Structure 1
Amino acid sequence: MTNILFPKDLLEKIISIIRNFWWKENKQEGAGKSICFRSWEDICQPKHLGGLGIKNIITVSKSLVTHSAWMVAAQKDTFLSNVLKAKYHPHSSFWKATSTGSRSVFWSSIQNVKHFIHKNCSYQIQEGSINIWSDPWCPIWDNIHSHLVLSTTVFPLPNQVKDLLIHNEHVWNTSLINQVFDNHAAQIILTTPIVQQQSEDILI
């Protein structure tokens, strides 16, 4: 379950077997079905909330695969991340990788849960080496192209976040940002915090 997101139908069948085992002795005379004295949602609640602490395996399956996706996104296993990049998204970041084409069950599982971390992850900007256009570094990163000022004369466009900083001062280059992005995006970028140290950007 750590690397494969099993189909929901299969997990529901397993849950059905567990429920039948739990309630199998509680049957009305002549009835074919067990009597469930509490809802399965209540049974799966933690003990301190009145449940029995039985794990919801659908949630467990998603959380385990999401953890694997996090390990790939954060490059906790550099070798695995590099292999997946070379095979499935050589010309894009993990965040912009598509799920089209031939792929392994593991990569398909990661793609199916990627939206969970996509919505809840961001890089903590330190040295600013992450890509402006394909990495999560500010709230509008995934559609930041649509906030470009069409009449911009800045060429080439900044590529890394550090290109938007004043050199050697580690603060936002307000003038450059206002030239490249519209007012809405500029305000969001200028309020994005920067950690005052020259270490690698951290996915949090």
Structure 2
Amino acid sequence: MLSQGGKEVFIKSVLQAIPTFAMSCFLLPNSLCKKMEGIFANFWWQKGKGGKGIHWFQLSHLCRPKNEGGLGFRNMAQFNTALLAKQGCRFLENPNSLVAKVFKAKYFPKSDFLNSQLGNRTSYAWRSIWAARGILEKGMIWKVGTGSNDNKVVELINCQVREWKREVVEYTFGADEADKSFASL
């Protein structure tokens, strides 16, 4: 007998939180994710104990962010993929962690996570994390410079005379590094 606000909090803080650990390790079938979302929708629309209620909107509308008119419920399949991609990101950011060392030794000893192969007879956890690798690749970018500045290549080149803006490059990378870069060109 919760209000709509109480149901929203319950769905977000309890029902959607329960499978989070499993979803961060294993790729759940889409059918299971849809079934969980159906349970959330039935709970959201029900009137009274055991009542069915009318589903006035599709669940996809409820999963939209609040600023787009939705309620901010999670799309469970997308959330599952995001959690698995986060595990892959941890392999890249913390290569000396125990879990990264174990997976590297077993599944990609001669390369890094992004260049790894799926292989044969692999664990379900590895197949799940590896399946999210494409999402991780799409979200990655190359940064020009030392990482301390957010310059874009277009800001480093004078397009009219087709030359480097020497003062910007020297300021961004330091005079010594800029001289090395100019010498190699």
Shorter-normalised TM-score: what interval?
A: 0.5 to 0.7
Kindly provide the CA deviation profile for residues 126-174 of structure 1, in whole angstroms up to 9, marking residues without a partner as x.
69xxxxxxxxxxxxxxxxxxxxxxxxxxxxxxxxxxxxxx9x9255734
Pick closer, same or farther for the CA change 1:79–1:122 going to 2, 3 Å: farther
Name the SS for the 1:62 alignment partner.
helix
Offset of 1:79 from its aligned partner? 2.6
Which one-letter code corresponds to 1:10 in the other structure?
A: L
Measured in 2, the distance between the counterparts of 1:76 and 1:44 equals: 34
Measured in 2, the distance between the counterparts of 1:86 and 1:76 equals: 11
> Sequence identity, in percent?
26
Matched, 1:173 2:171: no
One of 99, 106, 127 as aligned partner of 1:87:
106
* Segments ≥4 residues shifted beyond 6 Å: none
Offset of 1:93 from its aligned partner? 2.4
The number of residues matched between the two structures is 130
One of 34, 41, 51 as aligned partner of 1:12:
34
Name the SS for the 1:95 alignment partner.
helix
**RMSD (Å), alpha carbons:** 2.9
TM-score, length of structure 1 as denominator length: 0.54
Pick closer, same or farther for the CA change 1:122–1:82 going to 2, 3 Å: farther
Offset of 1:124 from its aligned partner? 4.2
Offset of 1:88 from its aligned partner? 0.5
Aligned to 1:52: 71
Aligned to 1:110: 129
| Unaligned segments of structure 2, at least 5 residues | 1-22, 147-176
One of 50, 55, 61 as aligned partner of 1:36:
55
| Unaligned segments of structure 1, at least 5 residues | 27-32, 128-165, 175-204
Aligned to 2:86: 67
